[in-house]
Amino acid sequence: MLQLDVSNAFLHGDLPDDIYMRQPPGFEDTSQPNLVCTNLSTASNKRHDNGNDQPSIQVLLAELHNSFALKQLGQISLFLGIQVLRNSDGFFLTQEHYANKLIQDAGFEQCKAAPTPIVPASTNRTVNTQLFPDPQLYRRLAGSLKYLSITRPDIAFATNRACQHMQQPTTQDFQNLKRILRYVKGTSNFGLPIIPGDVRLQTFTDADWASDQSNRKSVSGYCTFLGPNLISWYVKKQATVAKSSTEAEYRALSAAASEVLWLRRLSAELQLDQTTPTTIHYDNVSAIAIAKNPVFHARTKHIEIDYHFIRQHISTGDIHIQHLPSEAQIADILTKPFASTRFYYL
């Protein structure tokens, strides 16, 4: 993988109207005094049949050089804090340096590592409402963990939970945040492998019904693989309260289907056309039955829009929903906390 740096800003900015500009003092181009703006997509709109081979890459670079101040930085090794390591299998993306710096800045170098980023909720747990005295510290650490989750789906759920308390964090919220940091300390070298293989998309999705004890909203989670490689994941509290577990699960399924459609379009742009329906693995029998049943019942009218959306894309061949056992549902790690044995398995 090659890394390039383009000096120009606003590379994708289209200007449909007449804009009167002149080159700024000190940056005049005497050979092209009228040249002001250009567009990256216009400069590189040539489509190559084999865009990943070296000759095609060199042709594309030559096209870009003609329009932009372009620096070739060689093989990529660090991009926005993400290390790109090469091995015999392919690549490994890690933020180990960023994680270690975060632990150091938080003063956790000597802390004991935690086996999981979040502990399962206890039914007898008392609620601590005492406000944390330094909310800015809480926000800074939570934001840093959010950025770390770019290559760490294992902390995505716990970090999402922590970021929901930015406004008025309590001392208990900070204890939960410290738990994530202790887990990161013992797993700072974790990351994402990128290896050659099949280029078909497949998605796993799940929901945890009414799991938020403050407002009883459900949590949706899904993750998508391109062949053997995890390329996308999602954790989000649903916008409204679901009246049943089936409703919560169906909303999660609809969100996953939207992501699949977007990834299919993106894959086509990258010349990785998905010629078969993308499989969405799901463990809720009721939601799957609704998705595949052509008869729409009155008791499911509250999810009618999601129903028609999913049915449409099943019929057009964009997606295929397949049941899998709950114990094999790896999207579980994005919707709820687990004890260490189950967490490690997922």
Residue type, 135: P
Whole-number pLDDT of residue 36 = 67
Residue 292 has pLDDT above 90, yes or no: no
Whole-number pLDDT of residue 99 = 96
Residues 79-127 have pLDDT tens digits of: 888 999 999 999 999 999 999 999 999 999 999 999 999 998 755 556 6
**Can you read off the two tokens belonging to residue 293?**
């049943």
Residues 169-221 have pLDDT tens digits of: 999 999 999 999 999 999 999 999 999 999 999 999 999 998 887 789 999 99
For residue 85, tell me if it sits in a domain.
no
Whole-number pLDDT of residue 49 = 56
Bridge-based pairing state of the strands 278-282 and 201-208? parallel
Residues 114-132 have pLDDT tens digits of: 999 999 875 555 667 899 9
**Can you read off the two tokens belonging to residue 3?**
């890394």
Residue 336 has pLDDT above 60, yes or no: yes
88: helix, strand or coil: coil
CB under 8 Å to 220, separation ≥6 — which residues?
A: 205, 206, 207, 234, 235, 236, 237, 238, 248, 251, 252, 255, 256, 335
For residue 19, tell me if it sits in a domain.
yes
165 and 35 housed in the same domain: no
Whole-number pLDDT of residue 306 = 81
213 and 283 housed in the same domain: yes
Residues 152-174 have pLDDT tens digits of: 999 999 999 999 999 999 999 99
208 and 297 housed in the same domain: yes
334 and 250 housed in the same domain: yes
Q: What percentage of residues in the chain have a pLDDT greater than 70?
A: 88
310 and 251 housed in the same domain: yes
Residue 54 has pLDDT above 80, yes or no: no
* Domain count across the chain: 3
What 8-state DSSP symbol labels residue 42?
H
**Highest mean pLDDT of the ranges 6-10, 66-70, 135-139, 210-214:** 135-139
142 and 258 housed in the same domain: no
